[in-house]
Amino acid sequence: MERGVRTQDWSLIATCTRGLEEVLRGELQALGHPDATSGRGMVRFRGGMEAVYSANLQLRTGMRVLREIEEGPAASRDELYELASSVAWEEVFSKGLTFAVESAGRGTAFPNSSFASLVVKDAIADRLRARWGVRPDVDRGSPGLVVHVHLARDRAGLALDSSGEPLSHRGYRPMGGPAPLSETLAAGILLLAGYDGSRPLVDPMAGTGTIAIEAALIATRTPPGGRRRFACERWPQHDFAVLQAVRERWSSAHRSAPSAVVAGDRDPKAIAATTRNAQAAGISTALVAVVREVRDLELPGEGAMIVSNPPYGERLGNPRELSTLYRELGDVLKRRGAGATAWLLVGNPALVKAVGLRASRRIVLFNGPIECRLLRYDLYQGERSKSPDERTVPR
Ligand SMILES: C[S@@+](CC[C@H](N)C(=O)[O-])C[C@H]1O[C@@H](n2cnc3c(N)ncnc32)[C@H](O)[C@@H]1O
C-alpha cells in the first residue's frame, strides 16, 4: 500500500469541456505542473495526494480529476475482465469501502457501456473476494470509490475519480435559472478573455450570475472548490493534514477584488438569484447586481471588459425577438462601449450578424452539446455602425 505523499507519483488526468484544454493546461502549469500535456477534453499531469487536492480545490476549468490506474486491450468481454483483474485493487481499496463503476466512450465490444461497467465491477469484486474472502459492496448512490472506465475502440482505461460531483458544482448555485452556464465554462470564457481581476467587468445579461460570480472568484483569488468536499477524502491515501495545508495555502492568497464586477439583467428574478448565489459563493462584497436593460449599459470603469452569454434561441427566446435583442446589443456597444473589450458567447451564428460589429477573435467552445462561438469585439471610440448588408456571419 502506498503511504506518504512523497512516494506517490501517479498519472493524473483533469477533464474539461472541449475548447478549454489549453486554458486548463495553463492552470495546471500555474499549479506547478510545467510538463502537463493536453489531449481531447483533458490534460495529463503527475503527482500524489497533494496534487490531487490542489487540482480539485483550485482548477477553475477542470470538470474532474482522475487517477489513472491501468490501460490495455478490451476487444472482448474476456479481455476487459482480464485487464480489470490484473489491477492490485487490494492496494487501492480498503476493507469496508463501497464502490461503483461508471463507463464512458465507445468500445467495439461494448455498444452498451453499462455492460462494460458490469464486467469491471465483477472483476474487482472477484479479485477482492479471492484476496480478502469478502466482496466489497456496490453502492451507486454514495459510493466510497468511483472507478471510471474509458472505452476507446479496442482498448480501455481504468481510473479513480477523485472529485465526486463534477467540479463545476461549486456549491454556490443551488437554484437553476432558465439557461444557466456551467461554472467551469464561465471561468474558461473569462480566462480565455485574459481576465485576471485587474480590469472592471460587466455582464449585462447575467441571468443567475455565473460569469460575474466566477469573475469575482478570480478577482478575489478564491479557490473555486473551497466550499465543497471531494471523493478522494474517502480514499485510503487521504491525508487530512495535507488537505488542510493545501486549503490554508490557497486561502492565504485571498485578496479584495481590485476592480468592480457588475451583473445586470432586465429580469428582477435573475438579479435576486445572482445576489443569493453571490452570497453563497462568499463574494457578495465583490459584486454589484443591478436590474437593468442592456440598452442602458454602463461601463464600470476605464478599460472595462464586457463578458456575456446572451440568449441564443436553443433554450430561450424566439428568433425574431432575439435578432432585435442582438441589434440592440450591437448598438449599445457602439454607443456606450468605447474603450472596452466585449466577449460574447453565442450559439447561433445567424444572430451574430445582427450585432453589426466585426469580431477580432472567434473561439469554438461547447456549451453542453451546443457548438458556440466566443467572439471578441474591440470597441474603439467612434465605432462605425455597419449597414445591414455589411453585417457578415463569422466562421
Ligand atoms: C442565456 S441567459 C444568461 C445565463 C447566465 N450566463 C447564467 O449563467 O445564468 C440570458 C439572460 O439575458 C437576459 N436578458 C434578455 N434580454 C435582456 C435585455 N434586453 N436586457 C437585459 N437582460 C436581458 C435574460 O433575462 C437572461 O437572464
Mean confidence (pLDDT) of the chain: 91
Residue 249 lies in a domain: no
Answer yes or no: do 347 and 204 share one domain.
yes
Ligand 1 centroid to residue 327 C-alpha, Å: 15
**pLDDT above 90: residue 386:** no
Least confident piece of the model among 101-105, 202-206, 389-393 = 389-393
**Residue 185 CB-half CA count within 13 A:** 24
Residue 239 lies in a domain: no
Question: Ligand 1 atom closest to Cα of 203?
Answer: 6
Q: Residue 98: which of 79, 130, 122, 125 has the closest Cα?
A: 125
Answer yes or no: do 126 and 204 share one domain.
no
DSSP 8-state assignment for residue 108: T
Task: For the beta carbon of residue 290, count every other beta carbon within 10 angstroms.
Answer: 15
Ligand 1 centroid to residue 374 C-alpha, Å: 16
- Residue 64 maps to which CATH number? 3.30.2130.30
Tell me, letter by letter, the H, E, C secondary structure of 293-354. Answer: CHHHCCCCCCCCEEEECCCCCCCCCCHHHHHHHHHHHHHHHHHHCCCCEEEEEECCHHHHHH
Q: Average pLDDT for residues 45-57, to the nearest whole number?
A: 98
Q: Strands of the chain (E only): list them.
A: 10-15, 37-39, 42-47, 64-73, 99-107, 145-153, 155-161, 201-203, 261-265, 288-291, 305-308, 341-346, 361-367, 370-378
Least confident piece of the model among 65-74, 104-113, 150-159 = 104-113
Q: Residue 58: which of 226, 187, 219 has the closest Cα?
A: 226
Ligand 1 centroid to residue 293 C-alpha, Å: 10
Under the banding of pLDDT at 50, 70 and 90, the label for residue 394 is very low
Residue 300 lies in a domain: yes
The more confident residue out of 389 and 294 is 294
Contact 24, 16 (CB under 8 A): yes
* pLDDT, position 391: 44
Answer yes or no: do 154 and 292 share one domain.
no
Task: For the beta carbon of residue 370, count every other beta carbon within 10 angstroms.
Answer: 14
Answer yes or no: do 76 and 20 share one domain.
yes
Answer yes or no: do 57 and 118 share one domain.
yes
Residue of 203, 205, 327 with the most ligand 1 atoms within 8 Å of its CB, for mutation: 205
**pLDDT above 60: residue 337:** yes
**pLDDT above 60: residue 13:** yes
Contact 55, 87 (CB under 8 A): no
* pLDDT, position 382: 60
* pLDDT, position 315: 53
* pLDDT, position 385: 46
Ligand 1 centroid to residue 176 C-alpha, Å: 13
pTM beyond 0.85: the answer is yes
Domain containing residue 141: 5-161
* pLDDT, position 142: 84
Residue 337 lies in a domain: yes
In whole angstroms, give the CA distance from residue 281 to residue 314: 28
Answer yes or no: do 216 and 90 share one domain.
no
DSSP 8-state assignment for residue 288: E
- Residue 306 maps to which CATH number? 3.40.50.150
Residue 232 lies in a domain: no
CA-nearest residue for atom 12, ligand 1, is 205
Which residues on neighbouring strands pair with residue 206, listed in sequence order?
Answer: none
- If phi > 0 it is left, if psi is from -120 to 50 it is alpha, else beta; for residue 133 that is left
Residue 326 contacts by C-beta under 8 Å, 6 or more apart in sequence? 310, 351, 352, 354, 355
Answer yes or no: do 198 and 343 share one domain.
yes
Pocket of ligand 1 (CB under 6 A): 177, 179-181, 204-208, 210-211, 265-267, 270, 293-294, 309-311, 316, 325
Give tens-digit pLDDT for 78-99.
999 999 999 999 988 888 889 9
Residue 342 lies in a domain: yes
**pLDDT above 90: residue 174:** no
* pLDDT, position 316: 53
Q: Average pLDDT for residues 124-131, to the nearest whole number?
A: 96
80-114 CB burial, b ≥16 within 10 A, e <16: bbebbeebebeebbeeebbbbbbbebebebbeebe
Question: Ligand 1 atom closest to Cα of 177?
Answer: 9
Under the banding of pLDDT at 50, 70 and 90, the label for residue 140 is confident
* pLDDT, position 3: 40
Residue 155 lies in a domain: yes
* pLDDT, position 47: 98
Under the banding of pLDDT at 50, 70 and 90, the label for residue 392 is very low
Answer yes or no: do 191 and 121 share one domain.
no
**What is residue 139's three-state secondary structure?**
coil
DSSP 8-state assignment for residue 189: H
Under the banding of pLDDT at 50, 70 and 90, the label for residue 163 is very high
Q: Average pLDDT for residues 40-52, to the nearest whole number?
A: 96
Answer yes or no: do 92 and 16 share one domain.
yes
In whole angstroms, give the CA distance from residue 83 to residue 113: 16
Answer yes or no: do 202 and 135 share one domain.
no
In whole angstroms, give the CA distance from residue 89 to residue 85: 8
Provide the domain count of the chain.
Answer: 2
Under the banding of pLDDT at 50, 70 and 90, the label for residue 366 is very high
**What is residue 40's three-state secondary structure?**
coil
Give tens-digit pLDDT for 271-315.
999 999 999 999 999 999 999 999 999 999 999 999 999 998 755
**pLDDT above 70: residue 388:** no
**pLDDT above 80: residue 54:** yes
Answer yes or no: do 214 and 139 share one domain.
no
Residue 247 lies in a domain: no
Answer yes or no: do 262 and 350 share one domain.
yes
